[in-house]
């Protein structure tokens, strides 16, 4: 998979006119999903997540997107775990950043083989494909793709600080370096691949950002997927919200395969990835417009 570098600048006459605006291609996202599942269970600190990370960075590179690792140690109830976020940047006309994020770790299970086709792989696959699409068009804001490690709790139950290791580390580091100031909004994707996808409005998320995305979904005829029902979600967006960053979580937490051995290829669908991909791509200019007006 390669992208001709600078192809449009040296394209033969006519090519520029016929090249269509590249849309989100769920077939490509599906390949990324399958690839991750093929690595097997991918808990933080395992060889399989290192493979996954390598794959993410290679794919980004093939799109012409620069990515760097942000390594850190997660202090978990089960001891110290080596973790790393992957931060990729698509420069825009302005340095202000819109961050699109997903966690790419899968939950640690000893009693079952948990491959996280939905929980981990689906949103990560979509994020890679979003990168390809967004790299191919002019963006007003700088787009950052953030692949987070350590979202999952190390212990069976989600409690205290035993979760969201990667997002908490990222926000702390950004506060320290001062780069958080140019981070204007976060769109988090998590578990967007299940066959019967229903994404509810999360009451923790920032209202204007929720309204833009749900409004875009309605405009695209996707109101059956983007439900107006309310839910309350704790996820990687919380550390950003606490730091004062506008954030929205697109998640379907209410699916029967969640944290079961059935979170496999048979229970996810490329169509769901397409729906979310289309809505996010269409919502980005609206988010940019809102942020520029709010300046
Ligand atoms: Zn999970």
Nearest to 266 by CA among 43, 115, 51: 115
The whole-chain average pLDDT of the chain stands at 93
pLDDT given for residue 90 in this prediction: 98
Kindly give the distance from the C-alpha atom of residue 137 to the centroid of ligand 1, in angstroms, as a whole number: 32
171 contacts: CB under 8 Å, gap ≥ 6: 180, 239, 240, 242, 243, 245
> pLDDT class for 294, splitting at 50, 70, 90?
confident
Name the DSSP letter for residue 194.
B
Kindly give the distance from the C-alpha atom of residue 260 to the centroid of ligand 1, in angstroms, as a whole number: 10
Kindly give the distance from the C-alpha atom of residue 163 to the centroid of ligand 1, in angstroms, as a whole number: 10
pLDDT tens digits for range 67-124: 999 999 999 999 999 999 999 999 999 999 999 999 999 999 999 999 999 999 999 9
For every residue of 228-270, DSSP letters joined together read: EEEE---STTHHHHHTT-EEEEEE----TTTTSTT-SGGGB-H
Kindly give the distance from the C-alpha atom of residue 156 to the centroid of ligand 1, in angstroms, as a whole number: 10
What's the whole-model pTM score? 0.92
C-alpha distances (whole Å) from 124 to each of 3, 15, 38, 75, 169 are 20, 31, 14, 24, 19
């Amino acid at each position: 998979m390669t992208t001709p570098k600078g192809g449009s600048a040296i394209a033969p006459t006519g090519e520029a006119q016929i090249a269509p605006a590249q849309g989100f291609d769920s077939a490509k996202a599906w390949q990324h999903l399958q690839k991750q599942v093929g690595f097997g269970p991918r808990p933080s600190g395992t060889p399989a997540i290192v493979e996954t990370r390598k794959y993410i960075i290679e794919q980004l590179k093939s799109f012409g997107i620069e990515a760097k690792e942000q390594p850190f140690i997660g202090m978990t109830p089960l001891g110290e775990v080596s973790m790393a976020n992957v931060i990729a940047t698509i420069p825009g006309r302005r340095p202000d950043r819109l961050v699109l994020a997903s966690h790419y770790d899968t939950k640690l299970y000893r009693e079952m083989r948990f491959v996280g086709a939905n929980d981990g792989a689906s949103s990560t696959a979509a994020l890679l494909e979003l990168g390809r699409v967004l790299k191919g068009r002019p963006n007003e804001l700088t787009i950052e793709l953030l692949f987070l490690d350590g979202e999952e709790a190390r212990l069976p139950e989600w409690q205290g600080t035993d979760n969201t290791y990667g997002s908490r580390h990222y926000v702390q580091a950004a506060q320290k370096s001062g780069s958080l100031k140019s981070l204007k909004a976060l769109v988090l994707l998590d578990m967007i691949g299940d066959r019967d996808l229903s994404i509810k409005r999360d009451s923790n998320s920032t209202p204007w950002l929720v309204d833009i995305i749900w409004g875009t979904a309605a405009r695209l005829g996707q109101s059956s997927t983007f439900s107006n029902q309310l839910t309350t979600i704790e996820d990687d967006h919380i550390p950003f919200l606490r730091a004062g960053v506008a954030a929205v979580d697109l998640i379907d937490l209410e699916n029967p395969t969640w944290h079961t051995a059935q979170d496999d290829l048979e229970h996810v669908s490329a169509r769901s990835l397409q729906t979310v991909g289309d809505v996010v791509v269409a919502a980005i200019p609206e988010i940019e417009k809102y942020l520029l007006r709010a300046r």
